[in-house]
Amino acid sequence: MSTVLAIWSTIFKDLPYTPLSLSAVRRHMLLNKSILKGHTVSVNSLANRQDKTDLSSEPDENLIVERIYKAVMEQRLAPNTKLSEARLCETFGVGRMRVRRALLLLSSQGIIDLHSNRGAYVACPDKAEANDVFAARMLIEPPLVRQLAQGPSEISLALLTDHIALEDAARAQNERTEIIRLSGEFHTKLAQATGNNFISRMMRELVTRTSLIVGLFGSSENASCPDDEHTKILQAIQSRDPEQAEKLLMSHLNHIQSGLDMEVRQQPQDDLAAILG
Amino acid sequence: MSTVLAIWSTIFKDLPYTPLSLSAVRRHMLLNKSILKGHTVSVNSLANRQDKTDLSSEPDENLIVERIYKAVMEQRLAPNTKLSEARLCETFGVGRMRVRRALLLLSSQGIIDLHSNRGAYVACPDKAEANDVFAARMLIEPPLVRQLAQGPSEISLALLTDHIALEDAARAQNERTEIIRLSGEFHTKLAQATGNNFISRMMRELVTRTSLIVGLFGSSENASCPDDEHTKILQAIQSRDPEQAEKLLMSHLNHIQSGLDMEVRQQPQDDLAAILG
DNA sequence: TTGACATAGATTGTTAACAATCGTGAACTT
DNA sequence: AAGTTCACGATTGTTAACAATCTATGTCAA
């Protein structure tokens, strides 16, 4: 017992399983019964197992994560807002455990901060963090669009044109929150167009953080990206012009960043004066 | 009550707090008592609060995460290895809750996969994922070292030279696991040298995944990066030669990738033949 | 007016028991 | 020999009660 634990301690290893023919397993078990020792090896489990592709697999706390993510992207959830467990339980009609897991996931994505014994608060990036986010985006996005403009990813570009149509529609109807969210998600979809899951996830995180930053340091009129810059970037990509695409994107990011006032940080919800009159 | 809940549902907002003078708060409360309605506003909490910088803040499940992360980096934990809750509880001497939180965090970092009702398994990247990882690294790392070679980050370069010393020492003593881990962490520290937290986190994740991939698809002799390539890259950075640094890094990554055999995937622990004799 | 206790209340952290699910191995059928 | 069914055991998922912590508010002294 303590020896088994010792082995585990050093290697963290367990018996895994693999699909195999049933008889083959039985043969092995007969031939090497002594080797099995304390471990137990299944028969049917090895043969019967099939790849369940986990289709309907996320009716869980991912919904909560998505809802809160969306609220942050639309700047309806202001930085420093407290997310109390009880309130979230009522809101989503789930148990405390689900809420807890969701909060942990959100904190691992940097969307919220978890303070021990004090609760969860929407992340409130400071000046240094804001600079990091933009520096990271300026490092990653240029080679990204360059690659998109070079490689032939015809199909995935359709997603981008569709997205811009959505943006235009939202702008036409003047739906503020929708505009803000779509405006950010354009960049996320830019990354998705590469078909690379890692790049997509990184961009998604960076864009979410950017949304918080714009909400904190931005003035109200430039909450969303300038209207036509996305269109122009996409056009450059479609016409296979890497230089132009990269150039447009850099100036686009610069526009966003220069629209921020890093010194006069607005504290939308954190300022008692705004609430107490 | 239901109106409060309705507001919450749409905005997810709560009363936050800010450090303020005690008398100022009292004045506000007297002047605007009616505005406070259902909400409660503290007095001392607003004034007494000080920035506790959460120094000794992580004696929690981060330890478990770190231990498992390290085991993966050193290729002691093979892909597909099952991590059962009970076993982890014994190993680390903590309750099931901590283990559960740690597993959730690890899964959000892509280090393990969580299968519903079946447990946690060390991530087992497939061919497509491996390609994504290398594509992402080749997108990010070149501009990263280029930037390092341009910008003057003298101090942080010391960390890199120290690290290479560690690598050499480990190689001299022929400590396999140590060599493998340090070999990967060189790239992580490359990212840390930028001083940008986001870039650091991304690289850390990519390097961890790379470690799993090399363990799966690599032959035993090229488990670690070739000895002197790291040294040369660092030299190029120190001599402020962006072109050379970028070039060396690209060929370095290509070395690693070309050392993999994507077709004949080794299943170190997942292969019953290896266990059953 | 300001700051310092102290108590009451609310919120989060933890634990342990219970429920649901799945893997296991045998008996049984073809 | 190969496949199927079924109950048992083990593992994971969930819940609810309890413990620990922090916040809120009033009272008291300076």
Integer distance in angstroms from CA B162 to C1' C19? 54
Does strand C come within 7 Å of the CB of B57? no
**A42 φψ region: left (φ > 0), alpha (ψ -120 to 50), beta (else):** beta
Nearest to B177 by CA among B74, B102, B97, B43: B74
Asked if A53 and A74 count as a contact pair (C-beta separation under 8 A), the reply is no
Q: How far apart are CA A239 and CA B48, in angstroms?
A: 60
Q: At B4, is the pLDDT very low, low, confident or very high (cuts 50, 70, 90)?
A: very low
Q: How far apart are CA B268 and CA B18, in angstroms?
A: 55
Integer distance in angstroms from CA B30 to C1' D22? 25
Asked if B275 is an interface residue toward chain A (Cβ–Cβ < 8 A), one would say: yes
Q: At B219, is the pLDDT very low, low, confident or very high (cuts 50, 70, 90)?
A: confident
User: What residues in B contact A121, CB-CB < 8 Å?
Assistant: 16
- Give the range with max mean pLDDT: A5-14, A22-31, A40-49, B134-143: B134-143
Q: How far is CA B239 from CA A157, B146, B149, B151, in A?
A: 41, 12, 8, 12
Nearest to B13 among A133, A209, A269 (CB): A269
Q: Does A226 have pLDDT greater than 60?
A: yes
Determine the nucleotide nearest to B119 by Cα–C1' distance.
Answer: D12
Q: At A59, is the pLDDT very low, low, confident or very high (cuts 50, 70, 90)?
A: low
Annotate A62-100 with b (16+ C-beta within 10 A) or e (fewer): eebbebbbebbbbbbbbbbbbbeeebbbebbebeeebbb
The SS3 assignment for A274 reads helix
Q: At B154, is the pLDDT very low, low, confident or very high (cuts 50, 70, 90)?
A: confident
Nearest to B132 among A87, A196, A271 (CB): A196
Which of the two residues, A225 and B256, has the higher pLDDT score? B256
| Averaged pLDDT for residues A25-49 | 38
Q: Which residues pair with A113 in a beta bridge?
A: A121
Query: Among A60-69, A102-111, A245-254, which is the least confidently predicted range?
Result: A60-69
Q: Which nucleotides of D are covered by protein (CB under 7 A)?
A: 1-6, 11-16, 21-26
State the number of CA atoms in the 13 A half-sphere of B132 facing the CB: 20
Q: Does A57 have pLDDT greater than 50?
A: no
Q: Does B16 have pLDDT greater than 50?
A: no
Asked if A202 is an interface residue toward chain B (Cβ–Cβ < 8 A), one would say: yes
User: What residues in A contact B25, CB-CB < 8 Å?
Assistant: 272
Mark yes or no for CB contact B272/A13 under 8 Å. no
Which of the two residues, B56 and A168, has the higher pLDDT score? A168
Q: How far is CA B83 from CA A241, B210, B229, in A?
A: 49, 20, 35
Mark yes or no for CB contact A13/B78 under 8 Å. yes
Q: How far is CA B87 from CA A1, A12, B118, B216, in A?
A: 12, 9, 14, 24
pLDDT tens digits, one per residue of B96-122: 999 999 999 999 999 999 999 999 999
The pLDDT of residue A151: 80
CB < 8 Å & 24+ apart, contacts of A2-6: A4/A38, A5/B90, A5/B91
Mark yes or no for CB contact A31/B277 under 8 Å. yes
Asked if B113 is an interface residue toward chain A (Cβ–Cβ < 8 A), one would say: no
For the record, the structure tokens of A76 come out as 């309806």
- Give the range with max mean pLDDT: A8-17, A33-42, B44-53, B137-146: B137-146
Cβ contacts of residue A220 below 8 Å, gap of 6+? Answer: none
Average pLDDT over chain A, rounded to an integer: 78
Interior angle at CA B201, CA A118 and CA A120, nearest 5 = 15
Asked if A269 is an interface residue toward chain B (Cβ–Cβ < 8 A), one would say: yes
Q: Which residues pair with B17 in a beta bridge?
A: none
Q: Which residues pair with B82 in a beta bridge?
A: B121
Which of the two residues, B225 and B35, has the higher pLDDT score? B225
Query: Among A264-268, B18-22, B58-62, B178-182, which is the least confidently predicted range?
Result: B18-22
Mark yes or no for CB contact A81/B16 under 8 Å. yes
For the record, the structure tokens of A209 come out as 């953080």
Query: Among A197-206, B18-27, B78-87, which is the least confidently predicted range?
Result: B18-27
Q: Does A219 have pLDDT greater than 80?
A: no
User: What residues in A contact B106, CB-CB < 8 Å?
Assistant: none
Nearest to A136 among B32, B133, B198 (CB): B198
Which of the two residues, A60 and A188, has the higher pLDDT score? A188
Asked if B271 is an interface residue toward chain A (Cβ–Cβ < 8 A), one would say: yes
Q: How far is CA B135 from CA B129, B131, B148, B200, B206, in A?
A: 10, 6, 20, 17, 10
Q: At B173, is the pLDDT very low, low, confident or very high (cuts 50, 70, 90)?
A: very high
Q: At B6, is the pLDDT very low, low, confident or very high (cuts 50, 70, 90)?
A: very low
Q: How far apart are CA B4 and CA B32, in angstroms?
A: 19
- Give the range with max mean pLDDT: A139-143, B9-13, B42-46: A139-143
Q: How far apart are CA B113 and CA A254, in angstroms?
A: 38
Asked if A94 is an interface residue toward chain B (Cβ–Cβ < 8 A), one would say: no
Which of the two residues, B162 and B38, has the higher pLDDT score? B162
**How big is chain B by its Cα radius of gyration, in Å?**
25
Q: Give percent above pLDDT 90 in chain A.
A: 59
Mark yes or no for CB contact B116/A54 under 8 Å. yes
Q: At B261, is the pLDDT very low, low, confident or very high (cuts 50, 70, 90)?
A: confident
Mark yes or no for CB contact A28/B276 under 8 Å. yes
Asked if A121 is an interface residue toward chain B (Cβ–Cβ < 8 A), one would say: yes
Q: Does B272 have pLDDT greater than 90?
A: no
Does strand D come within 7 Å of the CB of B116? yes
Neighbours of B178 (CB within 10 A): 17
Which of the two residues, A11 and A204, has the higher pLDDT score? A204
Longest dimension (CA), chain B: 82
The pLDDT of residue A67: 92
Integer distance in angstroms from CA A192 to C1' C11? 40
Q: Does A39 have pLDDT greater than 70?
A: no
Q: At B262, is the pLDDT very low, low, confident or very high (cuts 50, 70, 90)?
A: confident
The pLDDT of residue A155: 78
pLDDT tens digits, one per residue of A145-190: 999 999 877 778 899 999 999 999 999 999 988 999 999 999 999 9
Where is A120: in which H helix or E strand?
strand A119-122
Q: Does A38 have pLDDT greater than 50?
A: no
Q: Give percent above pLDDT 70 in chain A.
A: 71
Mark yes or no for CB contact B81/A199 under 8 Å. no
Asked if B74 and B208 count as a contact pair (C-beta separation under 8 A), the reply is no
Nearest to A91 among B8, B20, B270 (CB): B8
- Give the range with max mean pLDDT: A131-145, B19-33, B215-229: A131-145
Residue type, position A97, single letter: M
- Global pTM? 0.82
CA closest to D14 C1', residue? A97
Per the structure, the residues numbered 192 to 211 in protein chain A that have their CB within 7 angstroms of any atom of strand C are none
Mark yes or no for CB contact A76/B133 under 8 Å. no
| Averaged pLDDT for residues B214-218 | 89
The pLDDT of residue B266: 52
Q: At B227, is the pLDDT very low, low, confident or very high (cuts 50, 70, 90)?
A: confident
Does strand D come within 7 Å of the CB of B219? no
The pLDDT of residue B128: 94
Pairing of strands A82-83, A119-122: antiparallel
Which of the two residues, B92 and A49, has the higher pLDDT score? B92
Does strand D come within 7 Å of the CB of B91? no
The pLDDT of residue A129: 95
Domains of chain B: 62-124 (1.10.10.10), 127-258 (1.20.120.530)
The pLDDT of residue B127: 93
